[in-house]
Amino acid sequence: MLIEFFWVFPVISASTWLTMLSSMLGHWVMLGEPTFGRMKPGQTIPFISDIGARELKPLFMIGSFITMLFMNITFYQFVQYKEHVNNVSMYLSFFFAIFGSLGLIMLSVFDNLDHLLLHDSFVAVFMTGYLVSAAVVCIDYFYLRLSSRVNKRMLMASFVIKFTFVIVELAFIVAFRVIAAGGNMQKDTAAILEWVIAFTFTGYILSFIIDLLPSSQNPSDEYHQLEMDMSSDARLMI
């Protein structure tokens, strides 16, 4: 059955993302680590967008598009074929994933050389979209974790990875924003944090392999029974 191969989608997405980032960073190193884009005086490490605003802009755009295309296919299969306690939360998470995906694609189109304000706005859209999406997935998984009837081992592994992603990325993003707002001497630290944030995103993409593996699929009646039990508990509380 086709469902047995859904786990390939996050692999393609993550591989594209890693290849794009590694190629951009490697290109800069091979050129002798020159000054790119809007790099400030004294700054020696470029931001991702500094490299992506020049001759590698086509790679940045195409890589971002392919990454988000397969990431959204992954998320669609995740929502469509894996039942959840609260379908509203899952579709809400899907919405924010699309929202974040558009942010990444648009920030690659509107570079930081000619469209700085738009670029920075889309960076915020990308980060916010995927953080909120991941947080909503974690909330739904937390409620599923309460049921002993659901495949808890696979569920717990996926939950831990996604929850760790939210906490770690949020900490990095806050640090990045604070440091980036500082003087020119702090730009290198901010640039390093941005690269770390980008590479860490790979782990979130790969976490969906666990969700889409055939062994992690749970029978529909288990989820329906959980929904019925939770509804009954809610009525009793009322």
Of the pLDDT bands very low, low, confident and very high (cuts 50, 70, 90), residue 51 is very high
> Roughly what angle, to the nearest 10 degrees, separates helices 116-145 and 152-180?
150
Q: Is 43 helix (H, G, I), strand (E, B) or coil?
A: coil
- Predicted confidence at residue 206, as pLDDT, reads 93
Q: How many CA atoms lie within 13 A of 136 on its CB side?
A: 21
Beta-strand (E) ranges in the chain?
none
| pTM, two decimal places | 0.83
Q: Is 80 exceeded by the pLDDT of residue 48?
A: yes
- Predicted confidence at residue 237, as pLDDT, reads 47
pLDDT tens for each residue of 146-198: 654 555 677 778 888 899 999 999 999 999 989 888 766 688 899 999 999 99
The single residue listed with the structure tokens 């509380």 is 237
Q: Is 90 exceeded by the pLDDT of residue 101?
A: yes
Cα-based distances in Å from 71 to 7, 14, 88, 136: 11, 8, 20, 17
Cα separation, 35 vs 51, whole angstroms: 9
Share of the chain above pLDDT 70, in %: 80
Burial environment of residue 133 by CB neighbours within 10 A (0 to 12, 13 to 18, 19 or more):
buried
- Predicted confidence at residue 219, as pLDDT, reads 45
pLDDT tens for each residue of 105-136: 999 999 888 898 999 999 999 999 999 999 99
Cα-based distances in Å from 12 to 30, 90, 134, 219: 26, 22, 19, 27
Q: Cβ neighbours of residue 160 under 8 Å, at least 6 residues apart?
A: none
